Structures are given as C-alpha cells and as structure tokens.
Amino acid sequence: MFTALFFRRAMFGAFLALTCASALVHAQAPYPNRPIKLIAPFPPGGTSDVLARLIAARLSEALKQPVTVDNRAGASGNIGHEAGAKSAPDGYTLLLSNSSTVVTNPHLFRKLPFDPTGDFSPVSMVASAGQVLVVHPSVPVTTLAELTALARANPGKLNFGSGGKGIQSHISGEMYKSAAGVNIVHIPYKGTIQAVTDLVAGQTQMVFSDMVPAMPQIRSGKLRAIAVTSAQRSAALPEVPTMNESGIPGFESGVWWSIVTPRGTPEAIISRLNGELGRIMQLSDVREAYARLGVNTEHSAPEKVTETIRAQSPEMAKILKAAGVEAE
C-alpha cells in the first residue's frame, strides 16, 4: 500500500513538473510565436487601409509570422481605437492610429471610449501626408486665387465635402475658410472616398482630399487639382503648387499615422517592433510605394507619438473653436 501511494505521488509530481516546465517554455518563447493582428480604424480602400496593408506585409516578412489587417471602421476612427485599447497587451494586437482620431476627436466627442494617451503604448510614427484641394471641372477656376475670388463673390453658395466631422479633410476646409475669409458650406460624408465620389458626380464643388482617392480622378480629368496643403510640393503631384505658394502664407495641414499597442505591452516587444519598423521605412520599395500614395515615411522613438498628440491638441482646439465646431 505504501509503495502504491508513493508511486502515485511520484507520478503526480512528475506530471506537475512537466506542466510547469511546458508553461515556462511557452512563456519564454521568443516574440512573436503566433499570428499578429493590425487594426485599421477606417474603411478598405482609403489611405489608412492601404498603409496598414503595406506595413502588415513588411512586418510579416520581418517577424516571420502572419500579420493580418482587421478593418474596424466607424465613428471617425473611435471604434477601431476602442478595439485596440481593449485588446490584450501582449504584442499580438497592433493599431494603426492617426492624428484625426487622437488629436481631433477629443475635441469633437464629449466622451471617448478610449484615452488617446493613457490607453496605448506607442511604438513609432510611420507616415505623414498633406492633402490636395480638388474641384469639380464645372467649377470655373484653375488656381486658388480664382477659387477664393469665386467664393467671396458667392458667399454660402459653394460647398466642400469631407470624410466626416473632424476628419482632416474637414479641418483643412475650415482652415481655408478662416485664412481666406470665405463662406463655404461643409458637407460631411462617412469617409473621404465617399466625399470624392460625390464630387466626381458633381454633387459638391470641392474636397480637401487624401492623395489616394484623388489622384486617379485627377489623372483621368474627372477632378482638377488646385493646391496641396503640405509645406512642400508632393512627389505624387509635383506640378501642383502648395497653398502657401498659392497665396495663403503659412498654410500647412496634414495627417500623421503611428503604430501603437494596448497600454502595458512589454518594453521588449515595443523595442522589437520599433526596430523592425525603422528598417522597413528604409526599404526602397516601401519609400517608392509611400511616394505613389503621396505619403512620407516616418520613424520615431515611441515617446514622440505621445509628445506630438499633447503638442497638437491645444492648436486643434483653437481651430475647431474658431470654426464654431462644438463637441457632441
């Protein structure tokens, strides 16, 4: 009887030791050892989605694990950011964040389902871009000066579409209204692609658009490019002048993107991802792909993301207040 009891205890001890060893090996397995999800908080086809798929493909190659894009569109990016914030902080859920959501939305929504700086552990900046002001061919202008003169002669009769309240296409329009002293009417859509589609159809007169949806329409002659909002001319549209060159000194408007993870993600994982993104942004094919999108490659220390949000937020509050935009 003693022998049988001793044997059972010995077997249990051996099983327990094996179980603990297995758990320890799993816990110490190098990151990553399974597929990773990258949340894109805007619909397929737009700049955020295209960037997410490009970054996911390169990260997959670098990390030797599948990186899949999960589009979580809606509520001006809030839905995707909420999903990212509530995910496990283990490095297997990444979020392609953007300035429209984390800088602008806090001033547009009285209650956000996430904290832009408190709910995330940033990894790196990954992209920045200006926009292009495009008009329907029926609008009898070819320069910004002509557009401004037309708007001043017809107050409240011209309108501009945007990707939604508070999206950068809306902010750029409000900045133009203020800087040029014109009265043009804002028409919000559920995405910049929809705004550009209606512009092509002649339902609106102008849009401050991301490069991705606008460039095919410009090249086909369905839309006319007037100016870009970046400080320098875009490599994608080198013939199009900047707003500054076109008569509005100091005008600069754009958006940036970053990769972030849920708050609490281990520093070792943040460091690994930051290093891989730094190498990815140096690849010639990535730089060429970005240039075709009218987007600049970016890489930064993780803390730069939070610092930028905190620096730009007060300025955005001033722009929205001047435009009479209140939080809902």
Q: What is the DSSP string of 46-76?
A: SHHHHHHHHHHHHHHHHHTS-EEEEE---GG
Is 263 within the bounds of a domain? yes
Per the DSSP assignment, residues forming a β-bridge with 207 are 134, 161
pLDDT of amino acid 29: 75
Residue in the block written with tokens 């589609």: 197
For residue 94, report the phi and psi dihedrals to the nearest 5 degrees. Answer: -115, 160
pLDDT of amino acid 25: 42
Q: Which of 36-40, 164-168, 272-276, 281-285 has the lowest mean pLDDT?
A: 164-168
- What separation, in Å, do the N-terminal and C-terminal C-alpha atoms of the chain show? 76
The domain spanning residue 105 has which CATH number? 3.40.190.150
- Name the percent of the chain lying above pLDDT 70: 91
| Sign of the CA dihedral running 123, 84, 298, 232 | negative
Binned at pLDDT 50, 70 and 90, residue 13 comes out as low
Cβ–Cβ under 8 Å, residues 114 and 293:
no
Same domain, 149 and 108: no
Is 13 within the bounds of a domain? no
pLDDT of 35 > 70? The answer is yes
Same domain, 120 and 174: no
Q: Which of 163, 124, 127, 179 is CA-nearest to residue 305?
A: 124
- List the structure tokens of 153: 């002669």
- The set of residues, in sequence order, having a beta carbon less than 8 Å from that of 297 and lying 6+ positions away, is 126, 127, 281, 286, 287, 290
How far is Cα 262 from Cα 119, in angstroms, rounded to an integer? Answer: 6
pLDDT of amino acid 1: 47
Is 159 within the bounds of a domain? yes
Binned at pLDDT 50, 70 and 90, residue 27 comes out as very low
pLDDT of amino acid 9: 56
Same domain, 224 and 136: yes
The domain spanning residue 202 has which CATH number? 3.40.190.10
What is the extent of the structural domain holding 216?
132-228
How far is Cα 110 from Cα 327, in angstroms, rounded to an integer? Answer: 6
pLDDT of 109 > 50? The answer is yes
pLDDT digits (tens, 9 = 90+) for 88-103: 999 999 999 999 899 9
User: What is the secondary structure of 109-156 as a DSSP string?
Assistant: -SS-SS-TTTSEEEEEEEEEEE-EEEE-TTS--SSHHHHHHHHHHSTT
User: How far, in Å, are 61, 63, 144, 232, 299 from residue 296 at the CA level?
Assistant: 22, 23, 24, 11, 10
pLDDT of 31 > 60? The answer is yes
Is 15 within the bounds of a domain? no
pLDDT of 38 > 90? The answer is yes
pLDDT of amino acid 11: 53
pLDDT of 6 > 70? The answer is no
Same domain, 114 and 263: yes
Same domain, 196 and 265: no
Same domain, 277 and 262: yes
- The set of residues, in sequence order, having a beta carbon less than 8 Å from that of 156 and lying 6+ positions away, is 183, 184, 185
Please tell me the pTM assigned to this model. Answer: 0.79
Same domain, 159 and 306: no
Is 246 within the bounds of a domain? no
Same domain, 212 and 223: yes
Same domain, 100 and 42: yes
How far is Cα 58 from Cα 317, in angstroms, rounded to an integer? Answer: 36
Q: Which of 100, 135, 287, 91 is CA-nearest to residue 224?
A: 135
Mean pLDDT, range 287-309, rounded to an integer = 94
- For β-strands 132-135 and 206-209, DSSP reports them as antiparallel
Same domain, 177 and 261: no
pLDDT of 5 > 70? The answer is no
Is 11 within the bounds of a domain? no
Same domain, 220 and 197: yes
Which residue among 228, 246, 279 closes a domain?
228
Is 197 within the bounds of a domain? yes
> Which position has the higher pLDDT, 76 or 112?
112
pLDDT digits (tens, 9 = 90+) for 228-274: 999 889 988 999 999 999 999 999 999 999 999 999 999 999 999 99
pLDDT of amino acid 28: 58
- For β-strands 67-71 and 36-40, DSSP reports them as parallel
Is 328 within the bounds of a domain? no
For the chain, give the mean pLDDT. Answer: 90
Same domain, 72 and 159: no
How far is Cα 120 from Cα 97, in angstroms, rounded to an integer? Answer: 10
Q: How many domains does the chain have?
A: 2
pLDDT of amino acid 104: 92
Q: Which of 14-18, 119-123, 148-152, 292-296 has the lowest mean pLDDT?
A: 14-18
Burial environment of residue 159 by CB neighbours within 10 A (0 to 12, 13 to 18, 19 or more): middle
pLDDT digits (tens, 9 = 90+) for 151-208: 999 999 999 999 887 788 999 999 999 999 999 999 999 888 899 999 999 999 999 9
